[in-house]
Chain A
């Protein structure tokens, strides 16, 4: 088991390294103008441009630039090309916002999806099932920024039921924090509710035909006990796996659109703004941040699986 974990961690580091190199390459190999000229402002003198070039090592070979930049990522000295603000500082500011959004939305979508999926499976083929299936499919088919913008406009701006964007710190006022996040949570959760409830529904329908369910029924357990203790517990395994992976994906960039629409100023929005300006240092740092969570959650899920199923360790 220890060997499996160590191997998985080495894999993680390898993938992270490749991600950083690739991100760096995307912005350096593809011609997109001289960053030094853009940084120098509107009427730059040649000396300023030369100074910027020297400071940022733009004239050195690309691998030197890469090493210089990566060193700055780890020492926390990385600064944005354009705003000159410290990138690690900016990301640290965004973390509570992104995590508030992701954790709340993840709990919401899991809870609602289990309710919908279970109910749908129990009523399989009847009206309630058909209705929930249609709702789930519509949820999957909606772009999150579209439904987010509409919710923000109608519920937040026009009818004034919810605050119109913005973020309040949890430590300042927990009630206001949740009140400001209800719309973003819902918008982000809709897509996943659709997926999860459908996956759970089909898992429950598969499990319900298992022998041990028949045994449970034969020994006289109530239908509720069978559903919760035997069927749901076994149908949940794939869903919990997905949950882990998707949570990593949402922290690692899945929330960009939601953050942008509701102006939450989280890590994702920072990344989107930086990409738009071709500001390489923040893009590199936020991509590494995102990839870290995606890879980490992947590794955790794998390790949990290996712990539960010894056959996987031997592969």
Chain B
């Protein structure tokens, strides 16, 4: 080992990028073009990015499967129904309560992955559940991103009293255990709905988990953004803009946000992954998506109750969840490596 050259270890360390810079003609290329080049070379990340797009597409197409193949909806019970499998009539849920297993194409695509305890088609619920999980994940991540950018920018840029107030509020939110806060908000809102002036949300609306998840993760993103704004504020180009007479909002939008974009992009991808996971956790504890509306979290939660007789009810939605989150994590990592290899972005649970 002792004879190996030191560069052996620096495969992906900073030195690798310095070498890359020397080796190729990169002078005159902007950071985005460089990033794109690196991204294009990272086949694994692209593959997983495409996988995520594919998953989204499949889930968006859920009604197609439900109407054309399975001929049922995500909430329709088939407790006392029978289907024809290979010419034989079979109960969807047997007399002692065991739901039918995966049929694949034996019943013309009906109950492709079997039924759950209420005789609902798992495949249809899986697709619609994915729609809900992804919708919540993406919207909540978007909400967190917007809130964090605003809070981080304002806090870091203005400093003083504004900064103190926002930081204190973020500290309080940060000290709240994510899951307890999420469950508390989720349960309270699900029971009472939400009314604020003209806005009124029903208790079983998907907007509630979105709202809860969107708020809970704000400190995890707003703090790092504030830190970056603090250092950007001292940069020469900001001083130059100020000397030219640019106001605070102009500086924020035209000078700072472009410099924050790579951080925001990476955070956004990883936030979707974490929001999807948190939605599942909240639904598992009964504070997320409300029944009969499906989501991967509620499906796992329902499945765990029947794990002894039908383990696939737990395994299948969990696998979908893992694949989705994994694809986002790998893709997000790829973006980070491409845009800002030295940044250490990390989200906590």
Q: Which residues of A contact B (CB under 8 A)?
A: 11, 14-16, 18-19, 22-23, 26-27, 30-33, 121-122, 124-125, 137-138, 140-147, 149-150, 153, 157, 191, 195, 199, 202, 205-206, 208-209, 213-214, 217, 222-224, 245-246, 249, 252-254, 256-257, 260-261, 271-272, 275-276, 278, 283, 286-287, 290-291, 294-295, 298
Q: Is B31 at the interface (CB under 8 A from chain A)?
A: no
- Min CB gap B279→A, angstroms: 10
The CA-CA distance from A16 to B325 in the complex, in Å, is 33
Find out whether the CB atom of B321 lies under 8 angstroms from the CB atom of A257.
Answer: no
**Is the CB–CB distance between B10 and A208 below 8 Å?**
yes
| Contact of B105 with A by CB under 8 A | no
Interface set, chain B 334-349, CB cutoff 8 A to A: 344, 346, 348-349
B321 touching A143 by the CB < 8 A rule?
yes
With contact pairs A199-B346, A256-B179, A276-B286 given, residues A205 and B13 touching in the complex (Cβ less than 8 Å): yes
A298–B175 Cα distance when bound, in Å, is 9
In the complex the two chains form, what is the Cα distance from A157 to B178 in whole Å? 31
Looking at the assembled complex, report how far the CB atom of B52 sits from the nearest CB atom of chain A, in whole angstroms: 12
B191 at the interface (CB under 8 A from A): yes
Q: Are B180 and A30 in contact (CB under 8 A)?
A: no
Which of B113-121, B137-145, B311-319 has 4 or more CB atoms under 8 Å from chain A? B311-319
In the complex, the answer to whether A252 meets B318 with C-beta atoms within 8 Å is: no
Among B9, B14, B307, B348, the residue within 8 A (CB) of A122 is: B9
Say yes or no for B277: interface residue by CB 8 A criterion. Answer: yes
Contacts of B132 in A (CB 8 A): none
- Shortest distance between the CB of A81 and any CB in chain B (Å): 14
Q: Do A208 and B191 touch (CB < 8 A)?
A: no
0/1 string, B1-33, CB within 8 A of A gives 1: 110101001111111000000000000000000
* Chain B residues engaging chain A, CB cutoff 8 angstroms: 1-2, 4, 6, 9-15, 168, 171-172, 174-180, 183-185, 187-189, 191-194, 273, 277, 280-281, 284-287, 297, 300, 304, 307-308, 311, 314-315, 318, 321-322, 325-326, 329-330, 333, 344, 346, 348-349
Q: How far apart are the CA atoms of A276 and B330 in the complex, in Å? A: 35
Per the bound structure, the CA–CA distance linking A137 and B330 in Å amounts to 7
Contact at A26–B9, with CB atoms within 8 Å? no
**B175: which of A19, A146, A195, A199 is its contact (CB, 8 Å)?**
A19
* Cross-chain contact A223 with B307 (CB below 8 angstroms): no
Query: Closest CB-CB distance, B193 to chain A, in whole Å?
Result: 8
Which residues of the other chain, B, contact A195 by a CB distance below 8 angstroms? 346
**Residue in A closest to B301 when the chains form the complex, CB atoms:** A145
Cross-chain contact of B13 among A141, A142, A143, A206 (Cβ < 8 A): A206
Q: Does B14 lie within 8 Å of A146, measured CB to CB?
A: no
Q: Contacts of A153 on B, CB cut-off 8 Å?
A: 307-308, 311, 314
B46 to chain A, nearest CB (A): 16
Shortest B168–chain A CB gap in Å is: 8
Q: A121: which B residues are within 8 A, CB to CB?
A: 9
Residues of B within 8 A of A246 (CB): 348
Q: In the bound complex, what is the Cα–Cα distance between A292 and B175 (angstroms)?
A: 8
Partner of B322, one of A141, A145, A278, A286: A141
Is the Cβ of B285 less than 8 Å from the Cβ of A295? no
Q: Is the CB of B285 within 8 A of A256?
A: yes
Within the assembled complex, what's the spacing in Å between the Cα atoms of A36 and B188?
Answer: 16
